[in-house]
Each structure stands twice: as C-alpha cells, then as structure tokens.
Chains A and B, each alone.
Chain A
Amino acid sequence: MADQTPILELEHVDKSFGPIDVLMDINLKVHAGEVLCLLGDNGAGKSTLIKTLCGVFKPTAGKILMDGKDVRFNRPRDAQEMGISTVHQFGGTFALMSIGRSFFVGVEPTRGWGPFKIFDRAKANEIAVRAVRDFGITRIEDGDRLVGGLSGGERQSLAIARAVHFGARVLILDEPTAALGVKQASHVLRIINEAKRRGLAVIFITHQVMHAMAVGDHFAVLIRGAIAADFRRGEKTREEITDLMAGGETMADLEASIESYEDTHEGRPPPPAP
C-alpha cells in the first residue's frame, strides 16, 4: 500500500496568518482505502491543516499533490470537484433553510434546461431525508422542515450525511463525533470503515483515543503546528498515543502530580487552574 501513489500528499506545507505561523513544514501522505487519524491538542492546527487541504485556505508555502500531480485549490469548490468532501468542525448546515435545501447547497439537483433550470425540491428532500435516516435518525420524515428545528447532533449528522453523499475520493471529517450520541458516533465509525472499504481515503480528526484506535490505519500527531509523530496502526500503545494527543505531556506525569497533591492535601483534588 505504501508504495502506491498517495491520493493526496502535502510537501513542506506552511500556513501563516500574517505574523502567526500556524503550520510548519507539514509532510503527509493519504492513501486510498486508508484512514488517517489527525490527532493533537486544541489549537495544534488540525482544522487549519484540513482547511488548506480542501481549498478554504491556500498554503503560504509548499505543495499539495493529488495523484502525484501538483494541484492548487482556489476555493472549496475546486477541491469538491476533485472529489474531496469535507465536514468542518463548525457550521455546515443552514438554520433557516429546509433540510432538503440545506443538504444540497452548492450542488442543487435540477430539472429543466438552459437558463430555466428548476431546483428539484422533491428529489432533494427525498435524498436528504433518506441520507439522515440511514444515520439512525428516524425522527426526520419531512425534508421541508427547517434545519434550525433539529438538535445539535441531528444537524451534525445532516452535515456528515451530505459529505458522505458527495465524497467521491477523499472524505475529511473534523471532529464529527463531538456532538453525537453513542449510537450516532458508532454509526460514524461504521461509515468511516465503509468508506475505506469502498476505496476512499479518509482523514479523521478526533480527541477520543478510542474512536481513533477503532478505525485508524495511520496516525499523525500535530503539536503546535508541526508533525510530532507519524506512525501506523500497532506501532504505538494506547498510552503513548494518549500522551501524544495531550501535546507531548505524558498522562502518567500528570496523574502523578495530581496524586502527590492529594497526598499533601488530605486527599482533596487540586483546584482548577484560574
């Protein structure tokens, strides 16, 4: 697998916002039929990294290769047209639009011809409702309902269902399970496995070790904008991965310091940091 041409590859990618360097010298390969878990502390740069991959940001320096060829995404639509489909950490649905309309923003199904193309509402509603019901959200029956009336997890499921529906080659999920219930979260993991089986490349960002270990083939850990570790399934233990996700501080050290505090303070836990 490793000697095939990766679907997506980052070469020496930097990204800065004015004087703030957020990503530094990122090198990363994503293969078809593989799940890459992108791990790291809050603010490590995970979302920034995937936004440069899907055309929201342009890299300040470095190259993005798709199938070994240099590509340049000027806007998210360019990446979409190449088969890269993304669920962002925030947003992705439109509160005051109907489920069917929200699902198809930017890729509306149409009937008719020429300048008289008509938004095919029946078709949009049917596909959107079916896609979220496949997620186990069976409370939704009417595609004309407003998205704002859904719960947070239902909205998130709608966004993920959309990405899965349009993801042709690469599926990028930025903390998709954060708002989800146990049933829906495990469904997302199932979907990731299913996408992988169909030969898609999946990039999955999560803060939950269990979720990462359940589906990941390949792990990359970001610490303050640089790749601190890049390893494959089975090469590190769960404890080692947890430590890396906490930004390099070992959990064991943290636990030890809490214990020693409790020893000297009659068993009370330390007060939260101000």
Chain B
Amino acid sequence: MGSFIGLIVVYVFFAIMGGGNFRGAPGFSSFLNFGSEVGIIALAVGLLMIAGELDMSVGAVVPASSLTLAIVAGDFGAPVGVAILAGLAVGILVGYVNGLLVTRTGIPSLIITIGTMFGVMGLTLGLTVLIHGSTGVFLVPDPLTKAIFGQLIGNMFQVSILWWAVFIAVVFFLLHISPWGNGVFALGGDRESARNAGIPTNRLTIQLYMLSGFAAAFVGVSQVMTFNAAQVAAGRGFIFDSIMCVVIGGVLLTGGAGSVIGIVIGTLTFAIVNQGIFFSGLDPNFGSIIIGALLLFAVMSNDRFRALALSYASGRKN
C-alpha cells in the first residue's frame, strides 16, 4: 500500500517537472521500455528474495546471453532460433550452478553469486575477444524474430513491454495461485521448518536460480533483437537496479513476504524516477538522491509492516 502511494507521488512529481513530453507517449515509452527490462529480471530476483536468497549474477548473465546469441548466429552462422536457445541456455546453466553452489556449500548466496558474476563476466569477455576479436558484436535479425523480441511498436514502445506483462502473469500465477508459491514463502520464512514440512528445499532453490538466470538471459536476447548488437559491458546496472525495484516494492530483505504486484509497483516507481529525471531537466544526481530516499523509506515501512504483523496478537490482548 505504501509503495502504491510512493508510485503516485513520484509520477505526479515528474508529471509536473517533466512537462508535456513526460506526460505523453515519449515519457510513457521511456519508463516502460526501461521498466520492462529491469522488471523481467526483478520478478525473478524478487521470487528469490522472498525465498531468502540473492542473485548478483544477473548483471553478468545479460551480456553473456546476448553475446552467445550474437556469436552463435553471427560468427558460427547458426539459425537465429538455435542461437536464441543457446543464449537462454547460458542463463539457465548459470542459474543451475548458482543453485547447486548455494544449496551444497551453505555459503551465503550473496558471496556465491558475486563469485559467479565475476566468473561469467570474465568468461564472456575472454571468449568474445577470442572468438570475435572485439568486445561488441553486431547482428541483424530476420524480420520475424525481430518482431517477436525486438520490435518497436509505434516507433517508441519496445515489444519487451508485452513480454514483461507475460512474465508478470506467469510469476503471479506461480507465487500467489499455484501450490508451488506456498513453498517459496515457507522457504523464506524458515528454511529448516520448510524442509521438515516436506518442501524439497534444495530443488526449489535451484529452480528459483534457474528462473532468474532464464529471466536475465531473456533480457539479453531481447536487447540484441532491439539494438541489433551485443556489448560485453551491458547489463551491470541490472544487479542493483533489480534489487532496488524488489525492495521498493515491499519485499522483505529477510525473506518470507512479498508480492508480485508490489514488485511491479516498485519497478514502475524506479523506472519513473530513473527516466523522469531526464525529462525534468534536473541534475541527474538528484535522481539518485530520490531513489536513495525511496529505498530507505521502503525498507523502513517494510520493517514496520513486519513488526505490525508480528505483534498483532499482543496488540489485541492489551
């Protein structure tokens, strides 16, 4: 609820400051385009955070997947469909390795995924230079694939916005409607009790990491299709941006609670500040201050929510 008010306040602020351009299609397309990419990743990272884990490697998976796609299709001349599958497979594989390491070693997932992030970044850079000879690869996709993954609708809106909607629907179903989601909440609430209650906690953790790897790889694919190029340096922003969206959206840092609606609201808020700042003509650093303040505010109100929820009974007794 608090996050919804935050969204309204932020939108109204930039609607005033940003002028007619921001209130019209250019403004909407800019924050929806930005939001759809980070939003797809934030949904999967949000699920992980509800389950009590973090994934920093998404920022490395985005360029790894887009370069895999571009190199497999460009340098190796494979059909684009095959190349897309290869790109997605890279993400799923990194997720699988993350999940395996987190469940087998018991080392905090923050550390493990920072490790895999550097590993994947290094591999991506090394292999790209080795195979392609430079750090950027161009690829002109055929019209059909372009239409599915990288089209601009009305010359402004990326088709990834529609894909974001699909992700929202699927993740909403998984978390809030299917029985599978109950396990995610239980896992984040109390891992040991969840296992004792019969949740296959290790398998579920691995599934969640594979999902976040897949989501990041999907964004990598759609970036190649949109910009007709893959860059080694792309994607770093997603690491913190996705976590920001999730936390602003009310997911508890300690896990165990959160919602898909919240994550979507958090993403929109973040995207509006991030893009609105350019329309408003304010110093871009001011945008960082707003985002910092939003984050603090979100964490404080999340903690308040938690305290309220937990003290419900004692409050009633007094």
Binding site for B on A (CB under 8 A): 54, 56, 75-77, 80, 86, 88, 91-97, 101-102, 104-108, 110, 116-119, 145-146, 148-151, 154
Q: Which of B178, B257, B311 contacts A119 (CB 8 A)?
A: B178
Cα distance A117–B181 when bound, in Å? 11
The residue in B181, B186, B196, B252 that gathers the most chain A C-beta atoms within 10 A of its C-beta is: B196
Cα distance A205–B185 when bound, in Å? 30
Interface check B289, CB cutoff 8 A? no
Closest-CB distance, A161 to chain B (whole angstroms): 14
Q: Digit string of B289-318 for contact with A (CB within 8 Å is 1, else 0)?
A: 000000000000000001001111110000
Cα distance A117–B178 when bound, in Å? 6
Q: Digit string of B237-271 for contact with A (CB within 8 Å is 1, else 0)?
A: 00000000000000010001100000000000000
Q: Please give, as numbers and ranges, the residues of chain A lying within 8 Å of B196 by CB-CB distance.
A: 54, 56, 76, 86, 88, 91-92
Cα distance A106–B197 when bound, in Å? 6
Q: Please give, as numbers and ranges, the residues of chain A lying within 8 Å of B185 by CB-CB distance.
A: 94, 96-97, 101
Cα distance A145–B311 when bound, in Å? 12
Closest-CB distance, A162 to chain B (whole angstroms): 8
Cα distance A117–B183 when bound, in Å? 14
Cβ–Cβ contact B183 & A106, under 8 A: yes
The residue in A104, A106, A118 that gathers the most chain B C-beta atoms within 10 A of its C-beta is: A106
Q: Which of B186, B200, B314 contacts A105 (CB 8 A)?
A: B186
Q: Which of A92, A96, A150 contacts B197 (CB 8 A)?
A: A92
Interface check B79, CB cutoff 8 A? no
Cα distance A151–B198 when bound, in Å? 25
Chain A minimum-CB-distance residue to B176: A119
CB contact under 8 A between A108 and B198, given known A94-B193, A95-B189: no
Closest-CB distance, B53 to chain A (whole angstroms): 16
Cβ–Cβ contact B190 & A91, under 8 A: yes
Interface check B199, CB cutoff 8 A? yes
Between-chain CB contacts (< 8 Å), 29 pairs = A54-B196, A56-B196, A75-B195, A80-B198, A86-B196, A93-B193, A94-B193, A94-B194, A95-B309, A95-B310, A96-B256, A97-B182, A97-B185, A97-B189, A102-B186, A105-B194, A105-B198, A105-B199, A106-B183, A106-B197, A106-B198, A106-B199, A108-B179, A119-B181, A146-B312, A149-B309, A149-B310, A149-B311, A151-B314
Closest-CB distance, A70 to chain B (whole angstroms): 22
Q: Please give, as numbers and ranges, the residues of chain B lying within 8 Å of A75 by CB-CB distance.
A: 195, 200
Q: Please give, as numbers and ranges, the residues of chain B lying within 8 Å of A149 by CB-CB distance.
A: 309-313
Interface size range of chain B in the complex: 20 to 34
Cα distance A80–B177 when bound, in Å? 24
Interface check B192, CB cutoff 8 A? yes
Known: A118-B177, A151-B314; 14 extra A-B contacts, CB below 8 A, are A88-B193, A94-B256, A95-B190, A96-B252, A96-B306, A97-B185, A105-B186, A106-B183, A118-B178, A118-B179, A119-B179, A145-B312, A146-B310, A151-B313
Cα distance A91–B196 when bound, in Å? 9
Binding site for A on B (CB under 8 A): 177-179, 181-183, 185-186, 189-190, 192-200, 252, 256-257, 306, 309-314
Q: Please give, as numbers and ranges, the residues of chain A lying within 8 Å of B199 by CB-CB distance.
A: 77, 105-106
CB contact under 8 A between A146 and B309, given known A91-B193, A94-B186, A104-B182: yes
Chain B minimum-CB-distance residue to A56: B196
The residue in B177, B189, B195, B310 that gathers the most chain A C-beta atoms within 10 A of its C-beta is: B189
Q: Please give, as numbers and ranges, the residues of chain B lying within 8 Å of A104 by CB-CB distance.
A: 182
Chain B minimum-CB-distance residue to A78: B198
Q: Please give, as numbers and ranges, the residues of chain A lying within 8 Å of B311 by CB-CB distance.
A: 149
Closest-CB distance, B103 to chain A (whole angstroms): 13
Cα distance A94–B190 when bound, in Å? 7
A-B interface, 8 closest residue pairs, ranked by CB to CB distance from nearest: A149-B312, A106-B198, A108-B179, A94-B189, A91-B193, A148-B310, A77-B198, A106-B197
Closest-CB distance, A221 to chain B (whole angstroms): 25
Q: Please give, as numbers and ranges, the residues of chain A lying within 8 Å of B178 by CB-CB distance.
A: 116-119
Cα distance A116–B169 when bound, in Å? 13
Q: Please give, as numbers and ranges, the residues of chain A lying within 8 Å of B310 by CB-CB distance.
A: 95, 146, 148-149
Q: Please give, as numbers and ranges, the residues of chain A lying within 8 Å of B177 by CB-CB distance.
A: 118-119
Chain A minimum-CB-distance residue to B189: A94
Cα distance A218–B305 when bound, in Å? 48
Cα distance A77–B186 when bound, in Å? 15
Cβ–Cβ contact A76 & B182, under 8 A: no
Cβ–Cβ contact A96 & B189, under 8 A: yes
Closest-CB distance, B257 to chain A (whole angstroms): 4
CB contact under 8 A between A76 and B312, given known A94-B185, A97-B186: no
Closest-CB distance, A172 to chain B (whole angstroms): 11
Closest-CB distance, B186 to chain A (whole angstroms): 4
Cα distance A247–B314 when bound, in Å? 38
Q: Please give, as numbers and ranges, the residues of chain A lying within 8 Å of B197 by CB-CB distance.
A: 76, 92, 105-107
Q: Please give, as numbers and ranges, the residues of chain A lying within 8 Å of B252 by CB-CB distance.
A: 96
Chain B minimum-CB-distance residue to A92: B193
Q: Please give, as numbers and ranges, the residues of chain B lying within 8 Å of A106 by CB-CB distance.
A: 183, 186, 194, 197-199
Cα distance A151–B252 when bound, in Å? 22
Closest-CB distance, A140 to chain B (whole angstroms): 10
Chain B minimum-CB-distance residue to A87: B196
Cα distance A93–B196 when bound, in Å? 11
